[in-house]
Amino acid sequence: MHDVTVVGGGCVGCSVAKHLAERSSLDVAVVEKEYHLAAHQSGRNSGVLHPGFNYEPGSLKARFATEGTRRLKEYAAEHGIPLDECGVVVTALDDAEERRLGDLREQADANGVETTLLSGSEEVREYEPNAAGQAALYCPEAASIDSQEYVYALASELKDAGVDFYVGHRVDEVRDDGSSLALETSNGRLETRYLVNAAGLHADELAHQLGVGRAYQIVPFRGEYYELVPDRQSLVESMIYPVPDPDLPFLGVHYTRRTDDKVIVGPNAVLAFGREAYRNTDVSPRDLYDTLTYRGFWRLMASREMASVAWDELNKSYRKSAFVAAARRLLPGVTERDFAKSYAGIRAQVVAADGRLVKEPLFEHGPRSTHVLNAVSPGLTSSLPFGDHLAERVLERFD
Ligand SMILES: Cc1cc2nc3c(=O)[nH]c(=O)nc-3n(C[C@H](O)[C@H](O)[C@H](O)COP(=O)(O)OP(=O)(O)OC[C@H]3O[C@@H](n4cnc5c(N)ncnc54)[C@H](O)[C@@H]3O)c2cc1C
């Protein structure tokens, strides 16, 4: 019997286990359904450390992002994880966007994030010679990290600290026996005194089995990427982002220079027909049924704005020309030939029963369990302080 069992070998699960092992002498285990770690969100993302200029001051998201960026940079340096402190240029294409840059700058100041305002297209081009834009905000603290290497570094630390790993163990059923929990897995039964559910795209399913988080459901949104072909990668020096629209849940298509020097373009945000439907032809009938019978989903889609965004995003998924048209707004010199299809990731986006997209980190507790229901972007950036925070809550409750 383990004291605490963490379900999910992504950056959040491994970070919680790390902080539990550091803060206590409890017997901790990590259970992962795949045979390797970081197979889902933690290994299929943009790999950007978002320093927090676009999050509401005082919010958990802002706090975790600023602290997470600093801590993850230190962690990468200590553990030899590839990291590129390239910075980001957020470029404004019209007057309305230029005005929003001012708001972003105020938020950045309030969150203690360093930024420089670039006025006029010439200044923008000093930083990104091929980008469009009449003004921009440059944030030098943004960085790019190899997220899979990061999760493997966490796992290797955990193994040294005596944490048990059960890979290839999918938790199918969780039962609370009154004093402990029984986990029926695809590879046998495990018992634990306390459960931390960090199962990402499947976190709501496990939580619901224990009667927790019933007001929420995960609706999977796929993010697809293209990448610039090798001889066009030099068009982008660092990262080029559009000005975020505060009314929209996801940032538009953007350019990110990864630590392996590839320049990825995307992601879009299209409703996935399955929690692990990585291709736009993949369908999981069961997951799709769950989404289509969820009233929160229909309430979300009832908003005219969301319906129109959903249509645009679908278009970008099935028509390369639509995706490239969105990407050309930031980098006018590119053509369809410059883009090669790349990988995709799926966001575990929690939608509340009233149709609200939950944008803040969300976790709920049961009598012997803690459930991470919403570790949305910047969940990678935030993973160290978030895991630390959760470990503290778990230890308070475990006592
Ligand atoms: C397209 C995309 C781009 C993103 N870009 C960024 C970015 O640039 N910067 C940033 O900070 N954040 C980004 N994010 C967000 C970030 O990737 C996530 O917030 C973070 O990886 C969540 O980690 P996690 O450990 O909660 O989930 P996951 O990495 O999904 O881990 C959950 C694990 O649980 C396992 N699991 C699930 N069910 C079970 C079960 N029943 N039994 C056993 N194991 C199970 C899964 O196999 C998985 O390994 C992005 C996300 C996406 C999808």
Distance of alpha carbon 259 from the chain centroid: 17
State the closest ligand 1 atom to the C-alpha of 11, by its place in the atom list counted from 1. 25
Architecture of domain 1-82+141-215+357-399: 3-Layer(bba) Sandwich (3.50)
From 6, 7, 15, 42, give the residue whose CB has the most ligand 1 atoms within 8 Å, as the site to mutate: 42
The pLDDT tens digits along the chain (399 residues) read 999 999 999 999 999 999 999 999 999 999 999 999 999 999 999 999 999 988 989 999 999 999 999 999 999 999 999 999 999 999 999 999 999 999 999 999 999 999 999 999 999 999 999 999 999 999 999 999 999 999 999 999 999 999 999 999 999 999 999 999 999 999 999 999 999 999 999 999 999 999 999 999 999 999 999 999 999 999 999 999 999 987 777 788 999 999 999 999 989 999 999 999 999 899 999 999 999 999 999 999 888 888 888 888 888 888 999 999 999 999 999 999 999 999 999 999 999 999 998 988 899 999 999 999 987 789 999 999 999 999 999 999 886
C-alpha 334 to ligand 1 mean position (Å): 31
Report the C-alpha gap between 66 and 63 in whole angstroms.
Answer: 6
Cα torsion through 331, 336, 341, 342, rounded to 10: -10
Contacts of 151 (CB under 8 A, 6+ apart): 9, 10, 11, 14, 37, 38, 42, 43
pTM: 0.95
Which residues, other chains included, contact 122 with Cβ-Cβ below 8 Å and sequence gap of 6+?
none
Q: Which residue has the tokens 């919403």?
A: 374
* Other Cβ atoms closer than 10 A to 281: 7
For ligand 1, atom 41, name the residue with the nearest CA: 171
Ligand 1 — pocket residues by CB below 6 A? 7-13, 31-34, 39-42, 45-48, 50, 170-171, 198-202, 223, 267, 345-347, 372, 375-381
CA dihedral 141, 144, 149, 152 (to 10 degrees): 50
| Secondary structure of 24-46 as H, E, C letters | CCCCEEEEECCCCCCCCHHHCCC
- Domain limits, the chain: 1-82+141-215+357-399
The residue whose C-alpha atom lies closest to atom 19 belonging to ligand 1 is 379
| Test site for ligand 1: of 41, 350, 383, most ligand atoms within 8 A of the Cβ | 41
